[in-house]
Amino acid sequence: MKRKLVTLVMASVIITVTALAGCGNDNGGNTGTVKTTEVTDKGKDTEKTDRPDTENEEEVTLTVGYPTSFVPDAFEVVAEMAKEQMGITIVAQPYSDADETTLRSLLASGEAPDLIFYNSGSLMKRLNPSEYFIDISTYENLMNRIEDTFKSSVTVDKAVYGIPQSASMGGGALQKFRSKHHKMYS
């Protein structure tokens, strides 16, 4: 059950960020500094929501890696919504758009974010997805919503490792090691 919840949260984050990306400001491809954000409710008055009581559940923190050209304003909105509506803390880990070596090193060391926004196709396949990412092909409800042409670009040996983020970018993949290490994915 927790496995499906984490996958649904991952899909929700990607879909919501995509929808809000048009609301952010265009930095003209500038890959300058992006503020790393951790959304917590410290110092805020919290309001009772309709979500189930999570008092006895362990706290869930999801780290999300994205290229520095991504729209950080949209990400912050999604992180706040995830905290308010689902009680999930989302921590941003931006990485340089052009630095595949750093991302590969993070994956190999087990320090990569739980969810990674990255290109599909041959670029994604160079990251060795069968070793580092979770196969999401068994989630029929999710797979039924993804075009077969996209699925072919994120499939290796019949395993699907990503969902679309937008028409011009590959999307996200859930990182195996960190998810197991943090007991978010069973």
Looking at the structure, do residues 64 and 86 belong to the same domain, yes or no? Answer: yes
Whether residue 21 lies inside any domain: the answer is no
User: Measuring CA to CA, which residue among 39, 117, 42 is closest to residue 85?
Assistant: 39
* Domain final residue, candidates 101, 117, 133: 117
CB 166 within 8 A of CB 145: no
DSSP 160: E
Whether residue 47 lies inside any domain: the answer is no
Residue 153 CA to residue 162 CA, distance in Å, equals 9
pLDDT at position 49: 43
Whether residue 68 lies inside any domain: the answer is yes
**Residue 134 CB neighbour total at 10 angstroms:** 21
The reported pTM is 0.60
| pLDDT tens readout for residues 150-173 | 899 999 999 999 888 765 545 555
Whether residue 98 lies inside any domain: the answer is yes
Looking at the structure, do residues 64 and 104 belong to the same domain, yes or no? Answer: yes
Which residues make beta-bridge pairs with 133? 175
Looking at the structure, do residues 111 and 149 belong to the same domain, yes or no? Answer: no
Whether residue 156 lies inside any domain: the answer is yes
Whole domain around residue 64: which residue ranges?
A: 58-117
Looking at the structure, do residues 67 and 95 belong to the same domain, yes or no? Answer: yes
- The tally of domains found in the chain comes to 2
Whether residue 38 lies inside any domain: the answer is no
CB 71 within 8 A of CB 21: yes
What is the arithmetic mean of pLDDT over 26-47? 38
Looking at the structure, do residues 103 and 150 belong to the same domain, yes or no? Answer: no
Whether residue 112 lies inside any domain: the answer is yes
pLDDT surpasses 50 at 124:
yes
Looking at the structure, do residues 143 and 153 belong to the same domain, yes or no? Answer: yes
Looking at the structure, do residues 85 and 125 belong to the same domain, yes or no? Answer: no
| pLDDT tens readout for residues 67-114 | 877 766 777 888 899 999 989 999 988 887 777 888 888 899 999 999
Looking at the structure, do residues 67 and 108 belong to the same domain, yes or no? Answer: yes
CA neighbours within 13 Å on the CB side: how many for 104? 10
Whether residue 12 lies inside any domain: the answer is no
